[in-house]
């Protein structure tokens, strides 16, 4: 009898331990096609993010004051590293620096993201500030806000829309004076 109870206990414990864990889907920003084999010299990009964006879990806004972090959909790398790499490659893909940077020794973009997320209504948001530093002096600083509607439902569609918003941010960099 004791052997039967011990066998049942082991069976129950192993059943609890073997519950199927939901799989995690990881996302990265795409790599733009490069116009050059080496990055353009003379410009650096640094990206920082608001504290609540430092999680690798993809963030969705449910209500104006309610955020949901997905446990099954996550960034493969930190948002700041991914966005920094993406913007640097986008600038390189254009094959030229913004006009304001052409004659300067050191041109640096400092971007701070306040929003880089989706909403349960299917919108994607990208907002924050961008500072253009020339020779280590602040030349221009401005806020940006971009919003776009996902073309379909799901996290993949959210990432695609966030990429389109990053492309708009890249275009706005070229209008800085």
> What local confidence, expressed as pLDDT, does residue 90 receive?
87
Cα dihedral sign for 45, 31, 48, 63? Answer: positive
Best-predicted range by mean pLDDT (3-12, 19-28, 55-64, 101-110): 55-64
Q: Say how far apart CA 158 and CA 53 lie, in whole Å.
A: 16
Give 4-19 pLDDT, tens digit per residue.
Answer: 555 555 655 555 555 5
**pTM score:** 0.82
Q: Say how far apart CA 126 and CA 117 lie, in whole Å.
A: 7
**Where does the pLDDT of residue 127 fall: very low under 50, low under 70, confident under 90, or very high at 90 and above?**
very high
> What local confidence, expressed as pLDDT, does residue 40 receive?
56
- Decide if pLDDT at 51 tops 90: yes
> What local confidence, expressed as pLDDT, does residue 9 receive?
52
**Domains (range + CATH), the chain:** 25-173 (3.40.50.10610)
Cα dihedral sign for 70, 76, 81, 82? Answer: negative
- Decide if pLDDT at 149 tops 70: yes
**Where does the pLDDT of residue 107 fall: very low under 50, low under 70, confident under 90, or very high at 90 and above?**
confident
> What local confidence, expressed as pLDDT, does residue 120 receive?
93
């Amino acid at each position: 009898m004791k052997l039967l109870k011990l066998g049942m206990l082991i069976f129950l414990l192993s059943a609890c331990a073997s519950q199927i864990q939901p799989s995690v889907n990881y996302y990265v920003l795409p790599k733009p096609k490069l116009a050059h084999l080496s990055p353009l010299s003379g410009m650096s990009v640094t990206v920082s993010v608001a504290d609540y964006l430092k999680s690798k879990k993809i963030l969705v806004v449910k209500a104006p004051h309610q955020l949901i972090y997905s446990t099954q959909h996550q960034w493969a790398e930190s948002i700041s590293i991914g966005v920094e790499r993406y913007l640097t490659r986008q600038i390189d893909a254009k094959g030229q620096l913004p006009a304001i940077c052409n004659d300067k020794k050191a041109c640096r973009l400092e971007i701070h993201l306040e929003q880089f997320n989706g909403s349960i209504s299917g919108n994607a948001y990208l907002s924050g500030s961008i500072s253009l530093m020339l020779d280590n002096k602040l030349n221009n600083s401005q806020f940006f806000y971009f919003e776009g509607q996902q073309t379909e439902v799901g996290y993949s569609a959210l990432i695609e829309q966030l990429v389109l918003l990053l492309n708009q941010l890249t275009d706005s960099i070229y209008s800085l004076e």
